[in-house]
């Protein structure tokens, strides 16, 4: 741990001891906080439980010259084996969900998508069923325009709140201002931090909503390798192509490098069969890309974020 990170730890431990809604962990393995179960230690792992604590963390880190990485549920990231020399700021402590009488469901960025779906179901509100089982957070869904089974975030989002880390002021974006595309939004091209998302849903039958969610969950269990750690789909889908099909036809199902393997169940996934390192995964990603490029002339774009 560098002297600047150590000094920041002292600042933030003092803040937490004074009653600040903040958890501070030192040299925390990122393998404990990512769906891949891969990654070395972060100098600091910080979990603010409210907006004031988030602002305090970001301000203190900037004053100390410590770099930060904002993390949601850790489902599409791959931390380096060497870890992260700085402060990883997890938004999972900001997970409040509110359901309004007008069909508006508002969730803080760290709330899991499945929790938001359950809250909507319990309130008899339909529209979010497609998101049940997507292993991400509300904030991540807004940033990535998360979707599945014909639905996507852009279809149900009304607005989002954000924090500008330069001014520490909050703002709001309407749906149109998100500039949504396939797995893309304006947030992917700025340093704004999603604070919350508001979803506009419609009244529906609780039984029908629950049945649809159960159906989608069953499909995921039957088709996706949920029994092993992974980061979901590895590559974006090229126009007119299916990644899993190209990878399977290339004979790569079950191909392994170290502990990383192309899933036997779904060739669009890389799974950690035990002891996989970041280096294993990156090498396997590149091997898949080279093979598909050679066989199909298609350049695959990796969806997994490598954090160094």
Active-site residue list = 183, 233, 303
- The pair of three-digit structure tokens given for residue 244, joined into one six-digit string: 């899993």
Are 48 and 68 in contact, with CB atoms under 8 Å apart? no
User: How many angstroms separate the first and last alpha carbons of the chain?
Assistant: 15
User: Helix or strand or coil: residue 14?
Assistant: helix
Contacts of 9 (CB under 8 A, 6+ apart): 1, 24, 26, 44
Sheet harboring 104-108: ordered strands across?
A: 97-99, 104-108, 193-200, 157-164, 169-174
Are 300 and 276 in contact, with CB atoms under 8 Å apart? no
Angle 135-277-289 (CA atoms, 0-180°, nearest 5)? 75
In angstroms, the CA 141 to CA 121 distance is 18
CA 308 to chain centre: 17
Buried b (16+ CB within 10 A) or exposed e, 35-56: bbbbbbbbbbbbbbbebebbbb
């Amino acid at each position: 741990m560098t002297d600047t990170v150590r000094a920041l730890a002292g600042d933030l431990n003092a803040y937490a001891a004074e009653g600040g809604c903040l958890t501070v962990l030192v040299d925390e393995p990122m393998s404990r906080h990512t769906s891949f179960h891969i990654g070395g230690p972060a100098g600091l792992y910080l979990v603010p439980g409210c907006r004031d604590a988030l602002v305090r963390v970001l301000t203190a880190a900037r004053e100390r010259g410590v770099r930060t990485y904002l993390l949601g549920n850790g489902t599409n990231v791959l931390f380096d084996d060497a870890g992260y020399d700085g402060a990883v700021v997890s938004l999972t402590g900001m997970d409040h969900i509110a359901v309004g009488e007008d069909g508006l469901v508002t969730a803080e960025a760290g709330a899991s998508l499945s929790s938001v779906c359950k809250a909507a179901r319990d309130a008899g509100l339909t529209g979010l069923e497609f998101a049940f089982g997507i292993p991400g957070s509300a904030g991540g869904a807004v940033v990535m325009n998360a979707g599945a089974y014909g639905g996507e975030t852009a279809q149900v989002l009304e607005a989002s709140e954000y924090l500008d880390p330069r001014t520490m002021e909050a703002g709001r974006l309407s749906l149109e201002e998100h500039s949504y595309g396939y797995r893309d939004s304006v947030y992917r091209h700025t340093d704004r931090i999603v604070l919350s998302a508001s979803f506009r849903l419609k009244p529906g039958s609780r039984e029908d909503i629950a049945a649809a969610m159960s159906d989608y969950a069953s499909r995921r269990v039957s088709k996706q390798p949920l029994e092993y750690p992974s980061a979901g789909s590895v590559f974006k889908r090229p126009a007119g192509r299916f990644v899993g099909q190209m990878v399977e036809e290339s004979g790569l199902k079950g191909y392994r490098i170290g502990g990383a393997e192309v899933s036997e169940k779904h060739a669009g996934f890389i799974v950690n069969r035990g002891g996989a390192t970041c280096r294993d995964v990156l090498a396997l990603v590149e091997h898949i890309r080279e093979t598909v490029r050679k066989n199909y002339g298609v350049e695959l774009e990796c969806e997994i974020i490598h954090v160094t």
